[in-house]
Amino acid sequence: MKARNNIETITGIKEFDLDADIIPEVGAGGISFKNTLKDFESVITANLFENHNTKIKHEVDSKYIFITLSSQKKEFKTEIDLLTGKIVSMSCSKGYSGKIFKEFGVGDKMSDFIKANPNIGFDLDHDAYVNHPFDGLMIYPPIQLRDKIINAVVQGKAVPDFIIDSYEIIDMEFARKNFEGTLFY
């Protein structure tokens, strides 16, 4: 519980913690879903106006009105809704060493994750593995395996195994608004 309290009170964030646990419904990268765009103002300002080489990069997606903040090599990314200032998702990929459920990380086999977590299953609406009830965790299989996995799930056959290359957690409030009716809570 101590780790949860620490990441939920951080402000003035200057870099991401690539060793931090991945905690569905709470956060990853040393930040939480309680953080907002305001907590990143100093690094965004430094990047825009002072031309500093900060440890957090940013990209604005004007089509969807999101700003994506990432570590230098994009091992960790977070998307923030520019209209609300709230974090909507966090992604951990190659180079991120933090663990989910204290045991699994990027580079582990999906079959091992499924054995240890009987609540996870493949969600056909979103082409991702999710926990039931949904807690914000989404694990996307490699693109080349998606159709094979979908077919195997529909037909009740053995699902192809793969190495997990990223974990995504999404904010539960965002999920309820945008995926209502398609995710189990």
Instruction: Give the C-alpha separation, 164 to 182, whole Å.
Output: 23
Please tell me the predicted confidence (pLDDT) of residue 12: 66
Residue 177 lies in a domain: no
Residue 69 lies in a domain: yes
Residue 178 lies in a domain: no
Please tell me the predicted confidence (pLDDT) of residue 1: 39
Residue 26 lies in a domain: yes
Please tell me the predicted confidence (pLDDT) of residue 5: 43
pLDDT digits (tens, 9 = 90+) for 96-151: 999 999 999 999 999 999 999 989 999 988 899 999 889 999 999 999 999 999 99
pLDDT digits (tens, 9 = 90+) for 63-74: 668 889 999 899
Residue 182 lies in a domain: no
Please tell me the predicted confidence (pLDDT) of residue 59: 66
Instruction: Give the C-alpha separation, 34 to 172, whole Å.
Output: 11
Residue 181 lies in a domain: no
- Of residues 89 and 54, the one with the higher pLDDT is 89
Residue 89 · residue 79 · CB < 8 Å: yes
Please tell me the predicted confidence (pLDDT) of residue 63: 65
Q: Count of domains in the chain?
A: 1
Note the helical H segments in 26-117.
41-48, 110-116
Tell me the two tokens of residue 141.
């299989």
Please tell me the predicted confidence (pLDDT) of residue 180: 73
Half-sphere exposure of 9 (CA within 13 A, CB side): 5
pLDDT digits (tens, 9 = 90+) for 36-75: 999 988 777 765 555 555 666 666 766 668 889 999 899 9
Domain that holds residue 150: 2-172
Instruction: Give the C-alpha separation, 164 to 153, whole Å.
Output: 18
Task: Please state the pTM of the whole predicted model.
Answer: 0.84
Residue 30 lies in a domain: yes
> Does the pLDDT at position 23 exceed 80?
yes
Instruction: Give the C-alpha separation, 122 to 54, whole Å.
Output: 38
Residue 79 lies in a domain: yes
